[in-house]
Structure 1
Amino acid sequence: MNKEELAAFAANRELRAALAAPDFNEETGWEAFRKAHAHRRRRPALRLWLAAAAVLILAAGAAVWLLQAPGTRNPVLADSAPRQGVELRMADGRVVEPGKVSGTIRQQSGALIHSGSQGLKYTADTRQEYCSGKDTLLVPNGLPFRVQLADGSKIWLNAGSRLIYPQVFDGPEREVLLEGEAYFDVAQRSGQPFIVRSRGVTMTVLGTTFNVNTYTSSVVTTLCTGKLRVSAAQQQMVLLPDEQLDYNPGGGFGKREVDTRDFTAWKDGDLYFDGEELEAITKSLSRYYDYEFVFAGPDMRKLRFTLDMPRPAKLQVVLDHLKSSRQDLHFRIDGRTVYIEAVHQ
């Protein structure tokens, strides 16, 4: 017999014993029997209800687990804004963030700074005498920025760059110092050459447009228009349009002809990579969007991509474009870090 049959047998035996007792009360005995029988009838239903509840709980837990499992949960997107803003450190000690300040800033040097969402514009205040003073413009990762100097020269600073320059140009030369990358559109001014210095390299121009990149150990200068004289370590070379000069402290000068758009598209707000390795692409994306990239394996660094598009506000858009051409590529986002992994199909 099963447990229920044994229980019924025991109850029957108890009832028979009670009936044989001389003081047995029929009404009390019948009521006790009815309650016991009804309780035993409800027990299977109760067990079924508990079993159903357990199934629901397990199903809910499984759903939560599936949502949290890798590849099935809602993906984390790379859409965070840069952590820092552009910073202008003025010669008089004041520090402002141009992105948060709009209007005109007056300086002791006799310069006026017009600050807006598009960048900074310096003009000379002719009502004052000039005095020397240099400002420092710090452009963090994720925020390319533009400044127009007091002589009318326009400079586009790429992300992760620093420029030191006079508030007004009142000497025999117009000299600026650069770290990072910048595109220069130099205003012509007879008798006052424009000079860019960076890591021991001096670039002298009279009126020209060119790009300077110092992100690596080399100083790479790309000339778009005009003529540029580049000197370093007692060496000197003249660049003509569509020529590029690469100076490495350990190897000297190296000159070649290039397609200038490969090196200046960033200034126009474009992402342009022509058959570039993924490792090189991620270095640029890291500066543009203030994210770090980690490769799961060395082979993935050598994957090549071609990309030509306006630079979107969010990194996630770029990652989606890259993934659309390689289905075996997976980007996993954790905070401000992008892990590049292979999908095994």
Structure 2
Amino acid sequence: MDYEKIRDLSFDELLGMISEEDKSFLQSAIREDLQARNIWEGIQRERSRLLADASESYDQHPVDEVLADLNTGNRLRFVKKAISIAAACLIAIVGSWYLLVHTAQQPLAAVQDTAIHTIRLMTAEGKTIDLSNDSAGIRVGNTVLNNTQHTLSFDASHQNGTGINTLTVPAGKDYHLLLADGTQIQLNAATTISFPFTFPGKTREITINGEAYLQIAAKADQPFIVHLPGNTVNVLGTAFNINTYDAGLVKVALVEGAVKIATGKKDVLLKPGYEITSTHSGITTEAFDADKVLGWRTGVYTFENASLQELAPVILRWFGVTIALDNQRVSSRRFFGIIDRNQPLQAFLHNLERADGIKSRYDQQGVLHFE
């Protein structure tokens, strides 16, 4: 996806200078690609905000007053006010363009510099398939893949092989997977999942590294098993969240049903509403806050008493931007709030500076520095 083109077309649309062909392309892009949608929505929001600011700045020239000038015959004064208001609107639009182009280009460059920036499937046969754009009827052996509405599904009714395929979701994106048995999986950014196209054996087994929300199709005669780094989850219920982002740490939060976690030391049966945390030193179980643990599913990360060091991995995963902390005083401060991946990162940075006085800048390599 050419995000520079998406940005240019968004401004063309804003100014009424877009062709029907380009408008159709833009609408398709923002419907199918998360980053493209973020760019388009960010431009719309910034334009609305700046126009509102311009309007507020010219409150001393209300519409009634301007019309009164026209009615009383003071046409010269009317023209001057109209020109000044129009100029304010133009400044707002141009200012929006400048702000978004010059603040968004740096993190975008960082995203594009990552090793993998497309959703891709590596099949058991070694074939690599780009899933970043909708496509249907992709044949892999006897299996037909359908990649539509940000979801991979497949018809494997004639598939005899049990080879393992690996789906990779890069930083800045998320994705959905519908397995052959009807199990639904939502994958967060920077996550990989390995799975077969069919489950012909006595068990259904997959491997996940990253974060995912699973809704398991019930099949009592064929247990579902999820392999994690150093842990195994035996599914006895339906819906749960898995998080293995941090090395040496695995979290499993149960929403519905029951799961049994094999940690290597002992098996733990988890109840709905509780989360188990497994580390090298042991395991703990406690009730979890659904807004914090599951908020990523709607693009919201809630943090309380968190340092920028703790927020850095989230920003890297969701926006593809690397963080450098240049000020020890800033590094030690704690923050409360949210990060919304549906908005440009610049919105979070703006709120951080306005609320806490924390300034930031991008260097030429696209690294985000807090000062």
- Cα contact 1:242–1:257 (8 A) shared by 2: yes
Q: CA deviation at 1:181?
A: 1.4
In structure 2, do the counterparts of structure 1 residues 325 and 174 end up closer, same or farther at CA, with 3 Å as the change threshold? Answer: same
- Cα contact 1:102–1:114 (8 A) shared by 2: yes
Alignment partners' CA distance in 2, 1:236 and 1:227: 13
Q: CA deviation at 1:294?
A: 0.5
| Residue in structure 2 matched with residue 266 of structure 1 by the alignment | 296
Q: CA RMSD in A?
A: 2.1
Q: CA deviation at 1:184?
A: 1.1
| Residue in structure 2 matched with residue 166 of structure 1 by the alignment | 196
Q: How many residues are aligned here?
A: 264
| Residue in structure 2 matched with residue 316 of structure 1 by the alignment | 346
Alignment partners' CA distance in 1, 2:308 and 2:263: 32
- Cα contact 1:162–1:178 (8 A) shared by 2: yes
In structure 2, do the counterparts of structure 1 residues 276 and 122 end up closer, same or farther at CA, with 3 Å as the change threshold? Answer: farther
Where does 1:316-335 land on structure 2 (aligned, <5 Å)?
A: 316-326=346-356, 328-334=357-363, 335=365
1:199-243 per-residue CA deviation (whole Å, 9 max, x = no partner) reads 120101133211111111211111111111001213110111121
- Cα contact 1:223–1:260 (8 A) shared by 2: no
Secondary structure, aligned partner of 1:207: coil
Q: CA deviation at 1:101?
A: 5.1
* Aligned partner of 2:156 among 95, 101, 124: 124
Q: Which of the pair has more CA radius of gyration? A: 1
| Residue in structure 1 matched with residue 251 of structure 2 by the alignment | 220
Q: CA deviation at 1:180?
A: 1.4
Alignment partners' CA distance in 2, 1:163 and 1:312: 24
In structure 2, do the counterparts of structure 1 residues 178 and 107 end up closer, same or farther at CA, with 3 Å as the change threshold? Answer: same
Alignment partners' CA distance in 2, 1:310 and 1:171: 42
* Aligned partner of 1:103 among 133, 136, 159: 136
In structure 2, do the counterparts of structure 1 residues 224 and 301 end up closer, same or farther at CA, with 3 Å as the change threshold? Answer: farther
Alignment partners' CA distance in 2, 1:285 and 1:201: 27
Letter in 1 for 2:366: R
Where does 1:128-147 land on structure 2 (aligned, <5 Å)?
A: 128-147=158-177
Alignment partners' CA distance in 1, 2:268 and 2:99: 56
| Residue in structure 1 matched with residue 126 of structure 2 by the alignment | 93
Letter in 2 for 1:332: R
In structure 2, do the counterparts of structure 1 residues 309 and 247 end up closer, same or farther at CA, with 3 Å as the change threshold? Answer: closer
Q: CA deviation at 1:309?
A: 6.2
Alignment partners' CA distance in 1, 2:132 and 2:159: 29
In structure 2, do the counterparts of structure 1 residues 312 and 190 end up closer, same or farther at CA, with 3 Å as the change threshold? Answer: same
Structure (1 or 2) with the greater strand fraction: 1
Structure (1 or 2) with the greater helix fraction: 2
In structure 2, do the counterparts of structure 1 residues 104 and 323 end up closer, same or farther at CA, with 3 Å as the change threshold? Answer: farther
Secondary structure, aligned partner of 2:103: coil
* Aligned partner of 1:243 among 263, 274, 294: 274
| Residue in structure 2 matched with residue 290 of structure 1 by the alignment | 320
Q: CA deviation at 1:283?
A: 1.6
Secondary structure, aligned partner of 2:155: strand
Q: CA deviation at 1:310?
A: 4.3
Where does 1:1-345 land on structure 2 (aligned, <5 Å)?
A: 76-79=102-105, 80-81=107-108, 82-83=111-112, 84-100=117-133, 102-108=135-141, 110-125=142-157, 128-216=158-246, 217-249=248-280, 251-308=281-338, 310-326=340-356, 328-334=357-363, 335-341=365-371
Alignment partners' CA distance in 2, 1:277 and 1:242: 27
Q: Unaligned 5+ residue runs, structure 1?
A: 1-72
- Cα contact 1:111–1:168 (8 A) shared by 2: no
Length-normalised TM-score, structure 1? 0.71
In structure 2, do the counterparts of structure 1 residues 74 and 258 end up closer, same or farther at CA, with 3 Å as the change threshold? Answer: closer
1:232-263 per-residue CA deviation (whole Å, 9 max, x = no partner) reads 213110111121111112x1211111112211
Alignment partners' CA distance in 1, 2:273 and 2:328: 34
- Cα contact 1:274–1:307 (8 A) shared by 2: yes
- Cα contact 2:134–2:150 (8 A) shared by 1: no
Letter in 2 for 1:228: V
